[in-house]
Amino acid sequence: MSSTNKSKQDTQNSRSGQAGKNAKGGVAHALLLTIGGLLLAGLVIGGLLLTYALVVMTPQLPPLDAITDYRPKVPLRIYTADHVLIGEFGEERRSLVKLDDIPADMKNAVLAIEDARFYQHGGIDVIGILRAGLTDLMHGGASQGASTITMQVARNVFLSSEKTYTRKIYEILLAYKIETALSKDQILEVYMNQIYLGQRSFGFAAAARTYFGKDLKDITLAQAAMLAGLPKAPSAYNPVVNPKRARIRQEYILKRMLDLKFISQEQYDHAMAEDIQVKTKGNNYSVHAEYAIEMVRQMLYAQFKEDTYTRGLSVTTTLNAADQQAAYDAVRKGVMDYDRRHGYRGPEATIELPAAGDERDQAIEDALADKPDNDDILPAVVLSADSKQVQVMLRNDSAVTISGEGLRLAASALSSKAGKNLRIQRGSVIRVINTAKGWQITQLPQVEATMVSLTPQTGAIRSLIGGFDFNQNKFNHVTQAWRQPGSAFKPFIYSAALEKGFGPASIVNDAPVSYPGAPGQGNWEPKDDDQPDGPMPLRTGLQRSKNLISIRLLDAIGVKYAQEFVTSHFGFDVDKTPPYLPLALGAGQVTPLQLAGAYAVLANGGYRVNPYLIAQVTDSRRAVLTKVEPQIAGQNATRVLDARNSFIMTSLLQSVAQRGTGAGTNVLHRTDLAGKTGTTNDAFDGWFAGYQNSLVAVAWMGYDQPKSLGSREFGAQLALPIWVEYMGRALRGVPQYQMPMPDGVTTINNEFYFDNMTPGNGFIASLGLGAGNGAPVEIGPDGMPVPTPETSPQEDEKQNILKLFGGH
């Protein structure tokens, strides 16, 4: 190439390169101008938005009174006398707690997942907002938030939850306003109490009780992390409804806490390994008092209507927490023992169970969805079964193997000869329980039982269990079940007889008797559970619960008199206490609470006290709205029974408890217990009512739709074990007490008499012995009358001749 051409080429290349550079420079310049324009536009728009926010939106911001003077809807709360929370009612479950009372693990778990820089920013996390805004643009809409805890407070207290840019601006403005009015700790405290966490629970204290049945101060790190996962989506991460998703989020939060150095590796490992037991439908409190708190709710609603659930009423009941739990445990044990005596009834259902895998797990979850736990009685689906071993899957996806003693109740259902409805097989839905002896197959009982106790000097109810399980059956048998008391009513007939001249030493003939029946009917010939034993003292008659003696006694004193006496002295309803002879056998109707009140008259020396459950009601400011001033025996209560009568009846009932049908009380090794068993016709009802000077208690067992409890079942087997189990715990540490003998009582031959009704002076010595002359009868050491010596016919004739001539 010539030098001239080369020079031209270089010149062209130089121009071309310069043109390229000019072109690139133009593009860059245009890009810079575009970006600059966008930034300028953004600044202008931002400025306009800021101006709009400051000029238009800021004046429309609501005042902060709702959080500076924080008074959310607070539910009705119910406590025992020793201030244990046993229940609450309200649209919003909420327990207000101070920040200092919230465990550090709970606060750190929330900060880790919701706002790790909470104490560093001024209410708005700018980096978070930019990140969320970019994500929103990429997804073409508002899909992700960047709310700080302060912004969440603003939204939850003042705004809706809709995802719009306008609401977000209001949220930001409110957040700044809140940050200027409150400290960080105050904001966090409002958040921890205000945030919705599912199951009608607002705030972490309420959620801790709802999901774990614990006070917030008692939760573990693992539980705190699970609760901290709820604010984002309470329904999605609800450990009751979605346990698997709740667990995944909990693990993520624990990892965040570890990364932020809120917890150590050791704490992390321990929390990850913890098996969290979540409360399902059932009791959320440490003490079971569901029937009692429902009674309280109804009484409060009658007075305060809808305000009952929002104005923060606090009710102190008369219940004692330890006594209440003891009564609950006693009823559960008594019912379960009875149920085991009467055999296994078969599985609750049977499902088609797929092979192991997700499909099987879903089938099990569906099968158990409508089978709530009954305290420690858990539903399960059988994975495999034979006569030696049964494997089941529980609600929490854990498999349990049952063998040996645990199969005893259901042994017949595991036999190859078991009927279709009885047989336990793969897919059967059954109940299991974990006892001290390991897992066992059990079942939900069908029978009901109750326990109620009260302080006889005041009527304060110490414990009240209205049935086996409130969630299964809400009918309160303590107050609503009118049942025949059977022989548990006999002491009141005896008490009436004492005022007519009878006494413990009166001899009554335990012999067959016949009474005219109603027109057109045959004679009434009452029977006893055993053979008649002839004449015996009243003390022995009550001790052995002799029906024929009670009937003779009622006939002697008169049914009208007896009806008036037991209703006016012991508080029984006239219309439920019919004036006819079967009343001696408990043919009237009583409730367990009414019967307890009647026995209290005997226990406290003869005073009528009114059973009561509510001691005090205060409002949210702790102002006292109502306070009960109880009637107290010996002070302001009305005397309805002679102290002599109360003393002698207590002596008689102590004989029953020590040597009679209530001798099962002797396992408590006390001599100050008095009481009476009761069993109605065909064993429809089983009772034991009794007392110690400081405590009256009544136990009952029966079916809602009355039917026989079994031909071999009596009050001593049905109700007495419940009573003994309860009193053994309730009287632990209570010293023995013997009622002092009042004035007007005298002792003759080691037996008690009214001093104005002694042998030969108004005392009725015998009844139903034929002669009816009231002559004294000698009592042997066994408590039975000593037979009178028979005279010969010649001696009888001699005595008759002497009488004709005035001889003696």
Could you list the active site residues? 114, 487
> What residues have CB less than 8 Å from 5, skipping those under 6 apart?
none
Gyration radius from the chain CA atoms: 39
Query: What are the structure tokens assigned to 340, written together?
Result: 């085991």
> What residues have CB less than 8 Å from 730, skipping those under 6 apart?
322, 323, 326, 327, 453, 462, 463, 695, 697
Q: How crowded is the C-beta side of 436, counted as CA atoms within 13 Å? A: 0
Output the CA torsion sign for 710, 713, 719, 722.
negative
Alpha-helical (H) ranges within 140-196 are 149-158, 165-181, 184-194
Output the CA torsion sign for 539, 545, 551, 554.
positive
Task: Label each residue of 356-376 as H, E or C.
Answer: CCHHHHHHHHHHHCCCCCECC
CB count within 10 Å of CB 440 equals 19
Q: Are 656 and 676 spatial neighbours (Cβ–Cβ below 8 Å)?
A: yes
Q: Are 684 and 707 spatial neighbours (Cβ–Cβ below 8 Å)?
A: yes
Query: What are the structure tokens assigned to 13, written together?
Result: 């290349």
Q: Give dist(CA 298, CA 295) in Å, integer.
A: 5
Q: Give dist(CA 10, CA 198) in Å, integer.
A: 79
**DSSP code, position 231:** T
> What residues have CB less than 8 Å from 175, skipping those under 6 apart?
123, 124, 148, 150, 151, 153, 154
Listed residue (502, 674, 505) closest to 599, CA to CA:
674
> What residues have CB less than 8 Å from 447, skipping those under 6 apart?
335, 338, 339, 468, 701, 702, 703, 709
Q: Give dist(CA 199, CA 65) in Å, integer.
A: 27
Q: Give dist(CA 240, CA 262) in Å, integer.
A: 27
